[in-house]
């Protein structure tokens, strides 16, 4: 059985489709019930459970997790994919926007994982945290988003360090720019050079499943995006100058 958050479109829907093809029983999680039912219909997954949950709402998450654990004995796979963009620079950031983005991109991931942990441990399952290359290098005009992804990456890595004691495996995924409804990557696609770095959701989902089946603990998608993390770590001044020059679209 697999739980997928952010399952109505983009990477989440693409992963759900592949998991359904592999005969996983699915629990599809998103904020909009109508879009969830449309996603289930598109998948042809008539036995999938749909749960309209705002992962930034701790009470809603607690209720969802309790119901899921009551319905299923174990959880083989949890995909934490829910995410929202926020394109503001650090000085222009609206505090309410920052709190909302942190609520979805960080607390939503952590709260759902902790709430379902008993089921994951029971099944000796796997957690796939879809973070972003933006968790390794900050861009000038996406401060709330990159802040949330830095925090989510640190949390996922910390989780990966302690999860094995309960028999759970954690895969942290850092995609580069992926074209999705929430992240159309319009500005990058306008550039002949930059568009080469943008991938579609199908390639992203395929790479994630390959990493999952090979037992990886962390992966960049595509792999060349690891260079961005190296530049940030080894030459932060260069990284700052490079990211300040371009007004990029947010990552996945």
Tens digit of pLDDT for each residue in 159-200?
999 999 999 999 999 998 776 666 665 565 455 555 556 678
Active site residue 224: no
In a domain, 235, yes or no: yes
Q: Give residue 108's pLDDT.
A: 97
Paired sense of beta strands 218-221 and 199-200, if any: unpaired
158 phi and psi angles, rounded to 5 deg: -65, -40
Q: Structural domain tally of the chain?
A: 1
Q: Are 44 and 26 in contact (CB under 8 A)?
A: no
- pTM value surpassing 0.95: no
- Whether 173 and 209 have beta carbons less than 8 Å apart is answered as no
Low-confidence spans in the chain with pLDDT less than 70: 179-198, 244-252
Neighbouring residues of 174: CB distance < 8 A, sequence distance ≥ 6 = 131, 132, 133, 135, 136, 153, 218, 219, 220, 221, 225, 229
**Tokens found for residue 208:** 């994630």
Q: In angstroms, rounded to a whole number, what is the distance separating the alpha carbons of residues 19 and 120?
A: 17
**34 belongs to a structural domain:** yes
Q: What is the CATH number of the domain that holds 66?
A: 3.40.50.720
Instruction: Say if 191 falls within a structural domain.
Output: yes
Could you tell me if residue 251 is inside a domain?
A: no
| Residue carrying the six token digits 């607390």 | 107
Residue at 252 is within a domain: no
Residue 250 lies in a domain: no
Neighbour count for residue 49 (Cβ, 10 Å): 18
Q: Could you tell me if 48 and 20 are in contact, meaning their C-beta atoms sit under 8 angstroms apart?
A: yes
pLDDT at residue number 240:
76
What's residue 251's pLDDT?
Answer: 41
Q: Which structural domain range is residue 220 located in?
A: 2-245
pLDDT number for residue 122:
97
131: in domain: yes
Residues 222 and 238: their CA atoms lie apart, in Å, by: 22
In a domain, 224, yes or no: yes
């Amino acid at each position: 059985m697999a739980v997928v958050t952010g399952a109505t479109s983009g990477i989440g829907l693409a992963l759900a489709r592949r998991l359904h093809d592999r005969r996983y029983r699915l629990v599809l999680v998103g904020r909009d019930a109508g879009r969830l039912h449309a996603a289930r219909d598109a998948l042809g997954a008539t036995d999938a459970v749909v749960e309209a949950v705002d992962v930034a709402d701790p009470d809603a998450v607690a209720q969802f997790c309790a119901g899921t654990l009551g319905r299923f004995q174990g959880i083989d796979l949890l995909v934490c994919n829910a995410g929202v963009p926020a394109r503001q620079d650090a000085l222009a950031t609206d505090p309410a926007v920052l709190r909302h983005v942190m609520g979805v991109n960080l607390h939503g991931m952590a709260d759902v994982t902790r709430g379902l942990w008993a089921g994951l441990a029971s099944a000796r399952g796997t957690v796939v945290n879809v973070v972003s290359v933006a968790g390794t290098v900050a861009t000038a005009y996406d401060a709330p988003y990159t802040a949330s992804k830095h925090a989510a990456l640190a949390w996922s890595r910390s989780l990966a360090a302690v999860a094995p004691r309960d028999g759970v495996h954690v895969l942290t995924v850092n995609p580069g720019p992926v074209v999705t409804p929430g992240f159309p990557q319009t500005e990058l696609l306008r550039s002949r050079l930059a568009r080469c770095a943008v991938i579609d959701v199908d390639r992203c989902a395929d790479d994630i499943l390959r990493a999952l089946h090979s037992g990886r603990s962390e992966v960049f998608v595509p792999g060349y995006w690891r260079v961005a993390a190296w530049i940030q770590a080894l030459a932060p001044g260069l990284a700052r100058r490079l990211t300040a020059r371009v007004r990029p679209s947010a990552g996945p």
